[in-house]
Every structure is written in C-alpha cells, then in structure tokens.
Structure 1
Amino acid sequence: MNKMIDSCSEFFNLEQEEKRQYKGKHTLDPISCGTSVDASVTEVLFWRDYLRVLVHPEFHSPTKPSGFSEVLAEFTKAVRRVARDLLGGISESLGLDSSYIERAMNLDLSLQLLGANLYPPCPQPELAMGLPPHTDHGLLTVLVHNGVNGLQLQHKGMWVNTNIIPGVLFVHVGDHLEVLTNGKYKSVVHRAVVNNKSTRISIAMPHGPSLDTVVSPAAELLENGCPRANYTGMKYKDYLEIQHKSKLRGKTRLDLLKI
C-alpha cells in the first residue's frame, strides 16, 4: 500500500513534459493525468492533480517512474480480490448465493480503475475544493491515502469528516450496487476538501461490472419482497458516457435511472 502511494507521489513529481503524453480526458482513456477537472464541464477549477489508469480487464501503466508498473499490477490485483470477496459477502447479505454478483456483473471482465489524486497545500482552503460533491460509478470504491485526511461524507444533509487510519482500506458503495440491490445498499455522496498545511494523496479504485453489462435491480430481489423496481436498467458503458458529459454539481446521476 505504501509502495503504491509513494509511486504515485513520484509520478506527480515527474517533469510536465514526461506527463504530457497522458493528457487524456475521458474516463475510459487507458491513462490520463492533469490538473483539476474539465473546466468546460465543471465551470470551476478544483485544487488537485490527478492520474487515472485503467487496470482491468486490460492492464495499462505509465512507463515512468521506474518500477511503477510492477507496483501498480501487484497492488490493484490484491485490491481486486478484496472487492470480489466483499461483493460475495454482500450477495449473501441479500439472501443470494455468494457468487451472484460475480456472475450477474460479469466480474471476470470487470472495469477497475486507479484514480490517484494529489491535493497540494492551498493558500485559501476555504475558497477552494479538492473535488466537488459526487457519487462514484461502479459497485464498490476502495480508497487509501497518505495519512492526511480530507474526505467528507454526506449524512442526513450534513458533511461529516472521515478519519481514515493509514494502512487501512476504506470502502464505500457505488451507484451500480445501489441499482443492483434496488436501493438496499446506498451510493455514498462524498467530496474532498483541502488544507493549507499538508499535501494529501488519495488513491480511489472504483470496481464496476463489465462495460457491456446492463445493470438493473436483481430479479431475485424483486421476487423476494421488493414491491417494484426503483431503477431502470442501463448499460454500464452508457452510464459512464453520461457521467463524463454531465456537470459535477452534487446531484447523483442515479436520478436519471430512478423510476
């Protein structure tokens, strides 16, 4: 875990010329990096640098810094196993077979991304934001960080600070687990705040179904007591396209799927 955080820090410290080749914009670009988010979409620039890498079902990696690819491959494979184990437990908690989500979401071809964020000290943190309020696509997001807190979760209309212990995996529910479970598990609205003293590095790893999977409420749940489906189905790839084009304003894209 620490090796992955250190490797991401080394990547952010590369010369701009070395990072320029990864100036992708789309969520599904194999590798992309940049500063803040797309101003044409958000209208406001946020205080962060980012690196986003597609690691499954096809593995990609920057060529620098030295050793980055090996650390990335080992770390994301281990985290992928954790996510699948958790999804097995969630399946059982719903009264389903432990392999239900794995089969229904075609996890052998699951989409796994690594999103590393660097939040430098900000002179006026009260006027800036690391990331605006949003929910994550996919089933689960696994997060680690360098010991500097800055993640806030929305709970009953209030923003709650998290105190994530270094060396611990922090996991929260994504949009598509909410859809699949017909709302039994809720996607988490969260944001990143900045400070004026310490650099924060966080690594978020969304785990989704395969891109071609149509995610809708599980029929087995609708047969076992749920009165009706609360969400309409949509192909995962199409949802990502909508997310990429929409503005980050705190509204979840799940509103588009709610019936």
Structure 2
Amino acid sequence: MGEAMSVQSFAEAGLERVPEKYVQPERSRPSIGGDGRRIPVVDLFFFDPARSGEVREALKRACREWGAFQVVNHGVPVDVIDRVVAAGEAFFGRTAAERRRFSCDPNSVASEGYGSRLLSADDAVLDWRDYFNHHTLPLARRNPSRWPDLAGYRAAVAAYADAAAALARKLLGILSECVGLAPSFLESAIGRLHQNVTVSYYPPCPQPELALGLQPHSDMGALTLLLQDDVPGLQVLRDGNWVLVAPLAGAIVVLLADQTEIITNGEYRSGVHRAVVNADRPRISVAAFHDPAKSAEISPAAPLLSGGSPPRYRPVRYGDYVSSWYGQGPDGRRLLDALLL
C-alpha cells in the first residue's frame, strides 16, 4: 500500500475536502448522532453459576432483538484491554515511513499487515480508516515477527487475542444453551476457530457528513468482540434507525455474525453496524473476529429443525461466502439474505 492510499496521510496533510473515492452516495451518508436508544449492556457476573439463568435470559433477548450488545464483568483483565488499545495508538502514532514497513499485500484480501483498502471491486466507495490486521488463531497462523516491533506491541496483541478467544468460546457455549443446543454445539459447528485481530484507526475527517469509517454490514463469520476507545463512532442498525454505541469503560462490544444466524436458523440475528467519523478526534477500535475455517460447511442446526420449523437458509461453504463478501463489498445483510429459502 503506497502512502497515497493511507487515509491518515490525508488527515496529516490537512486536506479540507474528502477525496471523491471516499464520498458516500447521498442515500448512504451518515447521521452522526443516532436516535437516542442504547444497545443492551449484559453483566456476565464473571460467569458465576449462581447468576447463569439471569445471564442466559439477557443474552437470549439481546441476540434475538439486536444481534449486538456490550458485556461487562467478562473476565478479560482491564490491563490487557488497555495495553492492546495503547499498542494500536502507538503504531498509528509512528511516521508514515515506519507504518509502511508493515504494509499488507494490496492484491490479497484479508492479508496480514497495515492497509486501507479492504475491497477488491475497483468502483467501491472507500472507508475513511486505516487498519492493521493480525492473524492470531490457529496458532500456526500466528507469526508476531510480522507485527510492529514497538516495545510491548507484540505481547499486547497476543495477550488480547488469547483472552478474546477464551471469552468467545464461553459466549458460544452459553448462546448454544440459550436456544436449547448442547453447550459445545456452536463451536463444533464452526469447527476449528480462526481469529484475526484488527486494529482500526479512523483519522479526523474534514467532511464527516460525507464519509463513513466503515460502511453498513454484518460480519461474515461467527462472533466479533470489539473494543472501543473513548471516541464515539460505532452504530448498530435497529428497526431502520442507527443507534450509537456509547463507549463504556472496560466493556466489550459483542457482534453476532452471519454464520451464527445461519446455524441458529434465524433464532439469533447478525448485527448490522457501521462506523461514523468526526472532524476533531481520531478513533481507535480493536476487533477480534472469530470465524470458521474456509473449508467449513455451514447450515442450520438439525436439532432446531422440524416440520413446523423448516430450514430458513441454504447450506454454504464458508470460503465461498468470504469470497463473495470481498468481491461484492458490504451492503447490510445482502449476502445473508441471498441464502434465505
């Protein structure tokens, strides 16, 4: 990725107008404030068995109604969260030349490293963000020598990756139970868990009313855990309105993704979300994506099907789903809805 493709370079150059490739069509331009509602905040009580019934009910409701929620008392240490966010801030605080040392392959989607352009379609409107994508699970994919060699950076990313994976597995177990499946069902259906940790940097934007940090989409995998800094920007779609996810210190945002909706036959919904930008302050987020292997065959769970509850989605090979997502670009739930029977 050359420096001309770096959104941060535009902000640092003091541009007064958003380049044309980043201007959203009128119908897609953001409303900055949201509609005043809040997504659910679920207290996990550090997985205390005495509170398990209460937690299951709260999670079930959030998964069915929103597909997105924040969790507190989740067991991921605060210092682990603080260190990975600080690591992202440190990397994006380096010079352009230092950042470019870790550029990802611009011709390969979801490649590891530093980049800006995520989609393969040449005519796509681009997002106002830069990112660093780390391959973290399975461990055979994890090679910290490809990550920035700043003091503490590699250890911070690895520690957060491990803590996020442990939390994701616990949540998948509870979410399985919430729809009457065995605790291991969702993770078994997903297969060997693949995890990427992506640090996103949203620079100040001279015309935030014209651009988006991330265009509306639902995540394609199974479960995403997202950290926010103290700058608002994440929005979740509910009933046709965008709801701002207010940053909550120590909380982790959980976004259900498309394969979980398929496996639960629509009992849960994947969360459509986007990121808006602002003119004054940069924003950092850290997303831990938990996905199936590309070879996994995903279909509605057989125990949830019956004569009165037929399958709502066609089976799909996850690798094919990923290729379609990157080829066509984000568009709400378009890819998922294309699988409806």
State the TM-score, normalizing by the size of structure 2: 0.70
Structure 2: give runs of 5+ residues left out of the alignment: 1-80
2:305 alignment partner, SS class? helix
The answer for the alignment partner of 2:338 in structure 1 is 256
Q: In 2, are the aligned partners of 1:27 and 1:240 still within 8 Å (CA)?
A: no
Aligned residue type for 1:12: F
Tell me, in whole angstroms, the C-alpha distance in 1 between the residues paired with 2:265 and 2:134. 30
Q: In 2, are the aligned partners of 1:41 and 1:246 still within 8 Å (CA)?
A: no
The 3 A distance-change label for structure 1 pair 166 and 46 is same
Write the mapping of 1:144-155 to structure 2, written as runs, cut at 5 A: 144-155=227-238
* Among 68, 72, 78, the residue aligned to 2:153: 68
* Among 235, 240, 253, the residue aligned to 2:322: 240
Tell me, in whole angstroms, the C-alpha distance in 1 between the residues paired with 2:249 and 2:123. 31
Aligned residue type for 1:51: F
* Among 231, 252, 258, the residue aligned to 1:175: 258
Flag the structure with larger Rg.
Answer: 2
Query: Over residues 11-55 of structure 1, what are the superposed CA-to-partner deviations in whole Å (9 max), with x where a residue is unaligned?
Result: 2223333333422244442x1322354484453232111111111
Aligned residue type for 2:104: K
The answer for the alignment partner of 1:127 in structure 2 is 210
The 3 A distance-change label for structure 1 pair 110 and 27 is farther
Query: Over residues 127-148 of structure 1, what are the superposed CA-to-partner deviations in whole Å (9 max), with x where a residue is unaligned?
Result: 1111111110111110001111
The answer for the alignment partner of 2:190 in structure 1 is 105
Aligned residue type for 1:165: L
* Among 233, 242, 250, the residue aligned to 1:159: 242
The 3 A distance-change label for structure 1 pair 211 and 249 is closer
* Among 202, 223, 231, the residue aligned to 2:285: 202
In the TM superposition, residue 251 of structure 1 has moved relative to its aligned partner by: 4.4
Aligned residue type for 2:309: P
1:96 matches 2:177:
no
The answer for the alignment partner of 2:47 in structure 1 is none
* Among 127, 133, 137, the residue aligned to 1:52: 133
Tell me, in whole angstroms, the C-alpha distance in 2 between the residues paired with 1:232 and 1:157. 26
Q: In 2, are the aligned partners of 1:111 and 1:211 still within 8 Å (CA)?
A: no
Q: In 2, are the aligned partners of 1:152 and 1:162 still within 8 Å (CA)?
A: yes
Query: Over residues 109-143 of structure 1, what are the superposed CA-to-partner deviations in whole Å (9 max), with x where a residue is unaligned?
Result: 21111111111111211111111111101111100
Structure 1: give runs of 5+ residues left out of the alignment: none
* Among 145, 168, 174, the residue aligned to 1:83: 168
Backbone CA RMSD of aligned residues: 1.8
In the TM superposition, residue 158 of structure 1 has moved relative to its aligned partner by: 0.9
Greater displacement, 77-86 / 58-67: 58-67
Greater displacement, 73-82 / 13-22: 13-22
Q: In 1, are the aligned partners of 2:110 and 2:133 still within 8 Å (CA)?
A: no
Query: Over residues 167-212 of structure 1, what are the superposed CA-to-partner deviations in whole Å (9 max), with x where a residue is unaligned?
Result: 2111011000000001000011110000112111011111112332
Q: In 2, are the aligned partners of 1:41 and 1:247 still within 8 Å (CA)?
A: no
The 3 A distance-change label for structure 1 pair 212 and 36 is closer
Tell me, in whole angstroms, the C-alpha distance in 2 between the residues paired with 1:140 and 1:53. 17
Aligned residue type for 1:10: A
In the TM superposition, residue 245 of structure 1 has moved relative to its aligned partner by: 0.9
The 3 A distance-change label for structure 1 pair 176 and 66 is same
1:9 alignment partner, SS class? helix
- For these two proteins, the number of residue pairs brought into alignment is 255
Aligned residue type for 1:13: G
Tell me, in whole angstroms, the C-alpha distance in 1 between the residues paired with 2:182 and 2:332. 35
In the TM superposition, residue 164 of structure 1 has moved relative to its aligned partner by: 2.6
In the TM superposition, residue 227 of structure 1 has moved relative to its aligned partner by: 2.1
Aligned residue type for 1:170: V
Q: In 2, are the aligned partners of 1:28 and 1:54 still within 8 Å (CA)?
A: no
The answer for the alignment partner of 2:20 in structure 1 is none
Tell me, in whole angstroms, the C-alpha distance in 1 between the residues paired with 2:126 and 2:296. 33
State the TM-score, normalizing by the size of structure 1: 0.91
